[in-house]
A and B are shown apart, each in its own frame.
Chain A
Amino acid sequence: MNPRFSLLLLVMAGLAVAFAPLPVPAIAPQERTFEIDAHQFAYSPSELKVNTGDTVTIQLVNTDVVHGLYVDDYDISVEADPGQSATLTFVADKPGSFRFRCNITCGAMHPFMIGKLIVGRNDWLYRSIGLASLTVIGFFPLSSFILKKEERNVA
């Protein structure tokens, strides 16, 4: 196959893997409530899975010093005093994987007090692994093309 053509093919395949719309399973939105226990320096449970469109209520129960919970990208947060609890309700309308993290300095490992919220499927992870696989598969025809070109340049 013409190497330029295979390069073009590869780039298009890459774009498709990265951006092509995927079918979204139609699941009726639900109301979901999680009780999350926050303590130095972890949340439990620390991984939440919901469907896109769900109305999520997080009840943050604080068992030691003051902690908060900030959801990356959604840019929303809640704080709870020691021994208290607080609630955060939002509609999980952005699909993907998001870190949530403590937003109130609560001790040494505070910057690493982190949990994970997965809304729908974690498509971006699969797309990224797809891109990595494509790289490996496409590497050989392409690299022989580059090698030949380099040889031509040397000659």
Chain B
Amino acid sequence: MNRIELTRIPFIKNALKSRYPQLAVFIVMLIGYIFAILAGLIGTPVGSHNFSIVFVWIAWWAILILVAVPFFGRGWCAVCPIPLPGEWLQRGAALSPPDKRPKWLNLRVPKMFRNIWLQNISFLLLALFSSVLLTTPNITGIVLAAMLFAAIGLSTVFERRAFCRYLCPVGGFIGLYSQTAPIELRIKDKQVCVTCEGKPCYNGSSAGYGCPWDVFPGGLTKNTYCGLCMECIRTCPHDNIAVNLRPFSADLAKPSTRMDEAFKAFIMLGSAIIYAGVLLGPWGAFKDAAYNVSSNSWFIYAIVFLAIIFVILPGLFMLGILNKKNTLPLKQRFASLSTALIPLGLMFWVAFSLSFVLTNASYILAALSDPLGLGWNLFGTAHAAWQPMFTSILAPAQTLALVGGLIWSARTAQKAAGEVKVSPIPVIIYCFIATSLMLWLLL
């Protein structure tokens, strides 16, 4: 159905199949990442003048949420430096498979952890401390380093990329929202896979590694767990892997039935609403509560935060779709219909981030010239003044994102409702109320 195979273009195909272009990007990213850790640890404690804060939470975040995720899905994961040191160690090589693989434990991740609940928890942990994390270079440096070391540790104990697949706090929502992207990696012909001997795309071969994300490419139906690492393009002996351009949110036509994924949608939707109110709202008491970790008011903030995400938002949703006459289990309807919250949540994040990013983007110039806040002036831009950008189009752009998100989620709700044979109206009304709340908070 109306897909354009990008890998038909020889230039794209070769660029993806060769390990060198990716390696070049990897190295730049890894250097940037390590520099961000060091800047966080030894640079100025003033967040808005420290490379770690400015480049991670303003520049990277803007690119991730406004461009990479909506248009390239897991495209960020294709170049992300976090799992690299661990993966190289695990493989005993940075490029093609070596003759002799190092002997690590290579355990399989226990079944009870093979879902995204750990990612839901790791995201929430960061989310509850986000006011400190976003503004304190030290803490950002420590968290970035902890992710790097956790990925290394897991690579030596478990097979493949256990960190990415089950623990990374960022990977969870990138995976969720990557389903909306107009890019996918899929097999071309199912029949070729059926008769393919040895399934090198999953098991590895001398041409490359078995899928690091523990997915069998032949069975891919959604983007969520494919990290776009391009190994299967390298290993498939039958040239059966394609990267396609496709309609937006094609994966959402077949709604998920998993509770971990359903709650991920609520976690992300709720966090966007809470941040819009706490961080961008005019209420100083909320900011105090969110920032003063371990104070009494912070505990109340944390409890309210978790209650909104796990009780209020899903509870109201559940009430809306209660219907005694329906024969399908409520759990299945709940999981399927929550698919509608995926485009809505993504657009909430876009609207929230637009405001934060446009207001603070001018810090990037200054931080580029003086990344550690030590008074350097590498490019002559160290004294670039803080100046919000495009403030006059901010509100219309946010309305466009939020109302567009509402239309998108209404369409998604309609498809999901068709799958479980219920009316989409309660879900659409739920999305409308959430959108109105977000409009009120941001405008």
Contacts and interface: CB of A to CB of B under 8 A. Distances in A.
Interface of A: 41-44, 46-47, 70, 72-73, 75, 96-97, 99, 101, 103, 105, 108-116, 122, 124-125, 127-129, 131-133, 135-136, 139, 143
A118 to B, nearest CB: 10
Contacts of A108: 47, 132, 135-136, 291
Given A105-B48, A108-B132, A135 B410 contact: yes
B383 to A, nearest CB: 13
A97 B48 CA distance: 26
6 contacts: A42-B283, A124-B396, A125-B440, A128-B443, A132-B439, A133-B432
B223 to A, nearest CB: 22
B281 A129 contact: no
Contacts of B285: 42
B141 to A, nearest CB: 15
B132 A143 contact: no
A122 B49 CA distance: 34
A28 B192 CA distance: 78
B406 interface: yes
B247 to A, nearest CB: 11
Nearest to B414: A143
B248 to A, nearest CB: 14
Given A111-B48, A111-B360, A44 B410 contact: no
- Which of A99, A111, A124, A133 has the most B CB atoms < 10 Å from its CB? A111
B135 A139 contact: no
Interface in B382-438: 386, 388, 391-392, 394-396, 399, 402-403, 406-407, 410-411, 414, 428-429, 432, 435-436
Q: Which 9 A-B pairs have the closest CB atoms?
A: A42-B284, A46-B282, A108-B135, A128-B399, A72-B391, A125-B443, A116-B282, A73-B391, A115-B282
B291 A73 contact: no
A128 B403 contact: yes
Contacts, number: 106
B131 interface: yes
The interface residues of chain A, by DSSP majority, are classed as mixed
Contacts of A105: 46, 48-49
A22 to B, nearest CB: 16
A154 to B, nearest CB: 9
B257 interface: no
B288 interface: yes
Interface in B98-145: 131-132, 135-136
A149 to B, nearest CB: 13
Contacts of A111: 47-48, 135, 356, 359-360
B304 interface: no
Nearest to A139: B410
Contact of A136 (B46, B291, B356, B428): B428
Contact of A47 (B48, B282, B411): B282
- Which of B132, B356, B435 has the most A CB atoms < 10 Å from its CB? B435
A75 B359 CA distance: 12
Interface in B259-305: 279-285, 287-288, 291
Interface of B: 46-49, 131-132, 135-136, 279-285, 287-288, 291, 356, 359-360, 386, 388, 391-392, 394-396, 399, 402-403, 406-407, 410-411, 414, 428-429, 432, 435-436, 439-440, 443
A68 B280 CA distance: 17
Given A41-B291, A109-B291, A143-B414, A125 B48 contact: no
A108 B399 CA distance: 30
Given A105-B48, A124-B443, A132 B403 contact: yes
B280 A96 contact: no
A136 B47 contact: no
A132 B406 contact: yes
B399 A124 contact: yes
Contacts of B46: 105
Contacts of B403: 128, 131-132, 135
Nearest to B137: A108
A127 B439 CA distance: 10
Nearest to A96: B395
- Which of A113, A114, A115, A128 has the most B CB atoms < 10 Å from its CB? A128
Contacts of A73: 391-392
A133 B403 CA distance: 9
Contacts of A41: 284, 287-288, 291
Contacts of A131: 399, 403
Given A72-B391, A136-B410, A109 B432 contact: no
A41 B356 CA distance: 16
A70 B359 CA distance: 11
B282 A43 contact: yes
Given A99-B280, A131-B403, 4 more contacts: A108-B135, A129-B436, A131-B399, A132-B402
B384 to A, nearest CB: 14
A135 B436 contact: no
A124 B395 contact: yes
A108 B135 CA distance: 5
Contacts of A115: 282
- Which of B47, B131, B280, B403 has the most A CB atoms < 10 Å from its CB? B403
